[in-house]
Structure 1
Amino acid sequence: MNLLFGTRTGVFRGTVEALEEAVRVLDCDRVLRVRRFGPRTYAATRGGLYRSLDAGRSWTRIETPRPEVYSVLEHPVGERLFVGTHPAHLYRSTDAGETWTECEGLQALPSRESWHTPRHRNEAHVRALRAAGEDRLVAGIEVGGIHCSEDGGETWSERREGVHEDVHHVLVVDDQWVASTGDGLYRTDDAGRTWMRLDSGLDRRYFREAFAHDGRLYAAATGGPPNTWDGPRGTDAALFEAADGGTLKPVEYAGGPGEFVLSFTAVDGRVYAGTTAGSILRRDPEGWFGVGSVSSGIASMTAVADPDGEAE
């Protein structure tokens, strides 16, 4: 089994048996998401969209309507391909990326004119894109909130009331969504109509990603956005776990608190994480330990198998 790591300098690939030997397999601009759908793996980057058909060994660039791709989704797998871009637009392809059609309903939302922030050239981007049912799509906007489509992307409804508008990631587990934002971790059990905070009582509120595996929720946070990490307290990160819907509790991990966990995945029953320093961590029964590293922070990661195998 292999792991792919999306970083600021491209995609790295390593086997779970020798992650200290991970090598760069795609030299490209900053990678925002690495995701696998069936036999296809995608890298959404600030320089475009890339696809691999051989478990990340080789990559082909796919032309997209806008060059900065922040999120990617195949749903249904093998039928429709979606990309979310900067500025915040959503496009759909039914021919594997040969041609694209804009999902114009996202642009028609009442809050559209408010989607912007000085940090991102006074614009926004579709940072998170998930399927939450046969025809239900969820889009998270940085900065602009969460929105939902019940018809495969044609029309959209706002689900931003009660959740912070700076959305970095949306985790979908059965009927629950968990939103990682610049000010808190939120959960909804009713498709975003109401939200509750999961980080009450915690002293760090800047979340990048959450992950669920085998009944346990994992998330990490810092006290503020990246422009604060060079201050007196540094990154000052924490890693949290919650079992069976319980309260998030801090856990020790290799590299903490100086390294911030940005991404997670699971393979062969074990959870892995990637940090701002490029460290690869693994959750063992005794705790979180370093098992390798790459030369740049790991913003996204996924498990892939050789073409004749299957990945989690």
Structure 2
Amino acid sequence: MTTVHAALRNRLLVCRGSEVDDWETTERLEGYDLECVAVSPAAPDRLFVGTFEDGLFRSTDGGETFGALEAGFESEAVMSLAISPHDPDVVYAGTEPSRVYRSTDGGDSWTHLEGLTDLPSEPEWFFPPRPYTHHIRWIEVDPFDPDRLYLGIELGALVVSDDGGETWRERPPGSRRDNHSLATHPDREGRVYSAAGDGYAESDDGGDSWSHPQDGLEHRYCWSVVPDPVDPGRVLVSAASGARSAHTASTADSYVYRRDGGTWNRLDGRGLPMGEGVVRAVFATTETAVYAVNNRGLFRSSDFGDSWERLAIDVDDGLETVTPRGLVALE
């Protein structure tokens, strides 16, 4: 049995099933403006969802019920979440404006990790639609070092900590400025992937320096990135020509690319909708499959993008106007 949690702009879809046509879908947190979702395979019943105006929610029964957490954040806009792969009780939350909080008890209490906004580049950070602020779009915990954190500031910097958030360093050489999502690989120490508004980037030294393999990537406003669980040289990204063609259904024109260690190839005609009218996909992986959600549905690939099947989840037609925000999958 697989469970997929898809955070849309106005609800959370909790999807459970195995075969293509055998899925049960329930909707939770209807009417909230969702931003992110996180769950650890080590604690699958404990689910966290961040919202833009109503703070942080937690479920302890696999998404059946949710309660609002009195986390004490300075802002109710929770934009990003990450659970440590080393300890499911260690949870990180990023907000707008850019602040990072850590819980070591599964979300019962939180500590503000200070010093982030003291970085020299902070006056240059801004989020274009709301130009007088900025936020932490992504948090990634290194799978080889629990104290090494990677943050994507939208828009402004990639930020790294080597000591669990006690100190921060910004903009390592070659890093992108507009990082939307980051990923690491459990079998390749030092490998970090970035999908950014200013292009794709990857690092082989734990984020200390970055390269820009772009050959074949015709759309370079990148949004979601996942590596192949069994091959760190293979990676998927969703991309568009700009923000309007990525996020807004009425003007959407987005694509999915795969890199097999060399040039990028667009995955046209494989069963995953892309192109005109399709917003950028959000990805999640398990040990055996990659999942993608866009405004045309939820899809699964067992061959890392060579072919996709649309899963029969029960969602009303309003999905076509909604932009997905987050996705997690558990098998």
Q: TM-score range with shorter-chain normalisation?
A: 0.7 to 0.9
| Cα distance change of structure 1 residues 196 and 79 upon mapping to structure 2, 3 Å threshold | same
Aligned residue among 30, 40, 48 for 2:55: 48
The alignment status of 1:92 with 2:96, answered yes or no, reads no
Instruction: State the one-letter code of the partner of 2:324.
Output: I
Instruction: State the one-letter code of the partner of 1:290.
Output: R
The alignment status of 1:197 with 2:212, answered yes or no, reads yes
Aligned residue among 246, 262, 265 for 1:246: 262
SS at match of 1:14: strand
Could you tell me whether the CA contact under 8 Å between 2:256 and 2:281 is conserved in 1? no
Q: Report the counterpart of residue 273 of structure 1 in structure 2.
A: 292
Instruction: State the one-letter code of the partner of 2:39.
Output: R
Q: Report the counterpart of residue 177 of structure 1 in structure 2.
A: 192
Which structure 2 segments of 5+ residues have no match?
none
What per-residue deviation string (whole Å, max 9, x for no partner) do you get for residues 280-303 of structure 1? 112255612322454333221112
The alignment status of 1:210 with 2:225, answered yes or no, reads yes
- Choose 73-82 or 41-50, whichever is displaced more: 73-82
| Cα distance change of structure 1 residues 171 and 78 upon mapping to structure 2, 3 Å threshold | closer
- Choose 107-116 or 177-186, whichever is displaced more: 107-116
Aligned-residue identity in percent: 27
Distance 1:100 1:230 in 2: 34
Could you tell me whether the CA contact under 8 Å between 1:184 and 1:206 is conserved in 2? yes
Q: Report the counterpart of residue 256 of structure 1 in structure 2.
A: 274
Q: What is the number of residues matched between the two proteins?
A: 302
Aligned residue among 309, 319, 323 for 1:289: 309
- Give the 5 Å matches for 1:134-153: 134-153=146-165
SS at match of 1:297: coil
Distance 2:247 2:280 in 1: 13
Q: Report the counterpart of residue 69 of structure 1 in structure 2.
A: 78
TM-score by length of 1: 0.88
Distance 2:95 2:209 in 1: 27
- Give the 5 Å matches for 1:75-154: 75=84, 76-132=86-142, 133-154=145-166
SS at match of 2:308: strand
Which structure 1 segments of 5+ residues have no match?
305-310
RMSD: 2.4
Distance 1:35 1:54 in 2: 14
Instruction: State the one-letter code of the partner of 2:81.
Output: V
- Choose 195-204 or 16-25, whichever is displaced more: 16-25
Aligned residue among 22, 25, 28 for 2:28: 25
Shift in Å at residue 229 of structure 1?
6.8
Distance 1:262 1:119 in 2: 21
Shift in Å at residue 158 of structure 1?
1.0
Q: Report the counterpart of residue 37 of structure 2 in structure 1.
A: 34
Could you tell me whether the CA contact under 8 Å between 1:262 and 1:274 is conserved in 2? yes
Q: Report the counterpart of residue 326 of structure 2 in structure 1.
A: 300
Instruction: State the one-letter code of the partner of 1:159.
Output: R
Could you tell me whether the CA contact under 8 Å between 1:149 and 1:157 is conserved in 2? yes
Could you tell me whether the CA contact under 8 Å between 2:291 and 2:329 is conserved in 1? no
Distance 1:231 1:265 in 2: 21
What per-residue deviation string (whole Å, max 9, x for no partner) do you get for residues 85-105 of structure 1? 001111223344344322112
SS at match of 1:57: coil
- Name the structure where strand makes up a greater proportion of residues: 1
Instruction: State the one-letter code of the partner of 1:114.
Output: E
Instruction: State the one-letter code of the partner of 1:283.
Output: S
Shift in Å at residue 199 of structure 1?
2.4
Instruction: State the one-letter code of the partner of 2:15.
Output: G
SS at match of 1:4: strand
